[in-house]
A and B are shown apart, each in its own frame.
Chain A
Amino acid sequence: MPYVARRVAYLIPTWLAITLLAFFIAQLAPGDPASVYFERLNGRPPGRIELARTRHQLGLDQPVVERYLRWLGHAVQGNLGRSYSSGLPVTHELLSRFPATLELATTATLLAVLLGVPLGVIAASRRNSLIDHVTRGASLIAASAPGFWVAYMLIILFSVKLRLLPSFGTGGVNLLILPALALGLGEAGLLARLARSSMLEVLREEYVTTARAKGLPEWRVTWQHALRNALIAVVTQVGLVFGFLLAYSAIVEVIFVWPGIGALAVNAINQRDYPMIEGFVVFAGTVFILVNLAVDLIYMALDPRISLGSQTVPAVG
């Protein structure tokens, strides 16, 4: 119990650090944000007085620490400022596009699990067979190929050459397949390898050989005892995979013109939309640490043997 409490309390400094990170990144920006802001709004560069007025309006004439604290104060209430590009509130934009990213990440994770885990388990139970080698080879290649490139290869294969599936936009399951596949394949490879090595480790352990000695049929050994324990590691990894995909989907979203927050972030970077970049870092970071927390708690619930100082849990001390 104290572990959980500590874990949740630990979120706060981590979140603060993320806000610091986001703020810091925005300060790296070259050029004068006030000038950029004015120009975007009015279509012409500001005069000296207008520039001073805009700087004051945006609060840029205050010392850095004060600006950070003010921004932080707003961020805590959920106000992440206004986008330079669209003029709309950043939080609103992120929230309205988040479901699309969620949809994509969830489907990709599902695909990754459905493809990778069974393959990994089978490969482990039939060690050094053809399936094993093919799985290991395929997952290694999947881990070596750039995800976005795989996306384009899929597009070329299915959309251009075979004209089977539409490539872009939202609206319907068939439009979801390619981007989810592109995102999920790499992770499928990762999960396959992890499932395999987890299974192998577990299969070697004492209680399995004991179960065998007791005369239980092989399949029961595999599927009941080994699987359940091996999957614990896999489940936690799936949670992490999901968290990663939420963020890594950026490139896939850009390619497939999927209206999620990743595409929003990339566009913001291209357009030097600093409030959006800052807001995105905070938003995505928050989502990510929440997902990590959920994963840790699930892990704890699944395997009561694990308590403080588990090695697979992000280091606490």
Chain B
Amino acid sequence: MAEKSALTAEAQRLPLAAALVERNALRRRLVADPTALAGLFIVAMVVVVTVAAPLLAPHDPNAQDVLNQFRPPSAHHLLGTDEFGRDELSRIIAGTRISVLTSLAVGAAILAIGVLVGTVSGLAGGLLDGTIMRVVDVLLAFPSLLLALAVAGTLGPGLFHLALAMTAVWWVDYARLVRGLVLGVKEQQYVESARALGMSGRRLALRHILPNIAPPVIVLATLQTARLLLALAALSFLGLGVGPPTAEWGAMLNDGKNFLDTAPQLMLYPGLAITITALGFNLLGEGLRDVLDPGLR
């Protein structure tokens, strides 16, 4: 990947201290970039809603009132009501929590696993590296969504099983990227000298390697969050994950599909919520990528 080579080139030229100084400059460039700024704004809003969901929701998202089903937007229900008379806006807000937190949790897990495996593989080399990369290639040889579907479907219902399945499938992207980056950094002068001085593998990784491969990993993490969000929505839509009455965007779409004729707006709102949130992360990721490697603008 062209971006990878550019980034590793940059990483090669910067010892750690200089990298820190550079980071401030990067931050300034980030804020100046409109794409990144828009993304940052959206992500910030989403985070706020996630954290403050119970406070922000005007009604109890699970409070039913079936005689008031399918109401259009009104002062009392800003987005109207669903098939059970529940307030749609409150459910969207509540869904933010589950969708975003699950995506972030899975994202953190795959980041940790992927970086660990990639670093170990890259540093160790040889047979271990070869074996790990075979496994990675096999998992990558198969469309992640379907694999997650097969695993989650087999494990059974429940959000935990779904998160487990997603984690088991998506860690490979990081592993591949990190390994490649580590291979690139490994050869560098300061790393070799640190090794010669007898620095342990772990310290080496923590102090020299990881900080220098951080930028592309951060970009990937941001973009990956968007992808996880979409995957979660798709898998929930298929009935995996949370069960009723929990509000979750994908599950809400699954409920709404029965009422395309009577209340198409029930399909609109959760989908928009997903799109906007994913867009936010994508914009931020793109912005970060542009800032860290402006050549590709």
Q: Which A residues form the contact surface with B (CB < 8 A)?
A: 13-14, 17-18, 21, 25-26, 28-30, 140-141, 143-149, 152-153, 155-156, 160-161, 197, 200-201, 243-244, 247-248, 250-251, 254-255, 262, 265-266, 269-270, 274, 277, 280-281, 284-285, 288-289, 292, 311-312, 314-315, 317
Tell me, rounded to whole Å, the shortest Cβ–Cβ distance linking A58 to chain B: 17
15 contacts between A and B (CB under 8 A): A25-B154, A140-B282, A144-B230, A144-B279, A145-B275, A146-B275, A147-B230, A148-B253, A153-B267, A254-B238, A266-B149, A280-B150, A281-B142, A284-B142, A284-B146
Across chains A and B, the number of contacting residue pairs, with CB separation under 8 Å, is 148
Q: Are A265 and B149 in contact (CB-based, < 8 A)?
A: yes
Decide: B176 and A153 in contact? CB cutoff 8 A: no
Chain A residues near B137: list those with CB within 8 A: 14, 314-315
Whether the Cβ atoms of A160 and B274 lie closer than 8 Å is no
Q: Could you say which residues of chain A place their CB within 8 Å of the CB of B282?
A: 140, 143-144
Note all chain B residues with C-beta closer than 8 A to A143: 226, 278, 282
Q: For A14, A152, A262, A270, which residue has the most chain B Cβ atoms within 10 angstroms?
A: A152
> Which residues does chain A contribute within 8 Å of B133, judged by CB atoms?
315
State which residues 156-207 of B face A: CB under 8 Å: 156, 176, 180
Contacts of A285 in B (CB 8 A): 141-142
B141 touches A18 (CB 8 A): yes
B150 near A25: Cβ-Cβ < 8 Å: yes
Q: Is the CB of A144 within 8 A of B261?
A: no
- The answer to whether A251 and B234 have CB atoms under 8 Å apart is yes
In the complex, the answer to whether B143 meets A248 with C-beta atoms within 8 Å is yes
Measured between alpha carbons, how far is A129 from B253 in the docked complex, in Å? Answer: 37
Closest CB of chain A to B296's CB: distance in Å?
6
- Residue pair B142, A28 in contact (C-beta under 8 Å): no
Which residues in B have their C-beta under 8 angstroms from that of A21?
A: 138-139, 142, 147
Task: Report B230 CB to chain A, min CB distance, Å.
Answer: 5
**How far, in Å, is B242 (CB) from chain A's closest CB?**
16
The smallest beta-carbon distance between A138 and chain B, in angstroms, is 12
Given known A201-B2, A288-B142, contact A145–B150 (CB-CB < 8 A): no
Check if A146 sits within 8 Å of B283, measured CB to CB.
no
Q: B143 touching A140 by the CB < 8 A rule?
A: no
Name which of A144, A284, A312 has the most chain B CB atoms within 10 A of its CB.
A144
Least Cβ–Cβ distance between B182 and chain A, in angstroms: 13
Chain A residue nearest to B140 (CB atoms) is A314
Contact A146 B234 (CB under 8 A): yes
Q: Which residues of A contact B237 (CB under 8 A)?
A: 146, 148, 251
Question: Once the chains bind, are B146 and A265 in contact (CB under 8 Å)?
Answer: yes
Q: How many angstroms from the CA of A59 to the CA of B233 in the assembled complex? A: 38
Provide the bound-state CA to CA distance between A17 and B137, in Å.
10
Q: B58 contacts the other chain (Cβ, under 8 Å)?
A: no
- The distance from the CB of B46 to the nearest CB of chain A, in whole angstroms, is 13
Contact B150 A269 (CB under 8 A): yes
Query: In the complex, A315→B153 CA distance in Å?
Result: 30
Q: How far does the alpha carbon of A29 sit from the alpha carbon of B150 in the complex, in Å?
A: 10
Which of A17, A160, A161, A255: most chain B Cβ within 10 A? A17
Q: Is B135 interfacial (CB 8 A cutoff)?
A: yes
Residues of A within 8 A of B239 (CB): 270
Pick from A146, A147, A270, A274 the residue with the most CB of B within 10 Å: A146
Q: Which of B138, B155, B238, B276 contacts A17 (CB 8 A)?
A: B138
Q: Chain A residue with minimal CB distance to B141?
A: A289
A155 to B180, CA, bound (A): 43
Smallest CB–CB gap between A317 and chain B, Å? 7
Chain B, range 207-263, C-beta contacts under 8 Å to A: 226, 230, 233-234, 237-239, 250, 253, 257, 260-261
A277 interface neighbour in B154, B230, B250, B267, Cβ under 8 Å = B154
The 7 A-B residue pairs with the shortest CB-CB distance in the complex, in nearest-first order? A269-B153, A247-B143, A149-B271, A144-B278, A17-B138, A144-B279, A145-B275
Cβ 8 A contact of A25, one of B151, B226, B234: B151
Q: Are B253 and A149 in contact (CB under 8 A)?
A: yes
Q: Which of B153, B239, B283 has the most CB of A within 10 A?
A: B153
Task: Select the residue from A197, A255, A262, A269 with max chain B CB neighbours within 10 A.
Answer: A269
Q: Chain B residues near A140 (CB, 8 Å)? A: 279, 282-283, 286
Smallest beta-carbon distance A172→chain B, Å: 21
Q: Which residues of A contact B155 (CB under 8 A)?
A: 28, 30
> Does B19 reach chain A (CB closer than 8 Å)?
no
Q: How long is the Cα–Cα vector from A155 to B268 in the complex, in angstroms?
A: 12
**Interface check B130, CB cutoff 8 A:** yes
Contact B138 A18 (CB under 8 A): yes
Which residue of chain A lies nearest to B283 when distances are taken between CB atoms in the complex?
Answer: A140
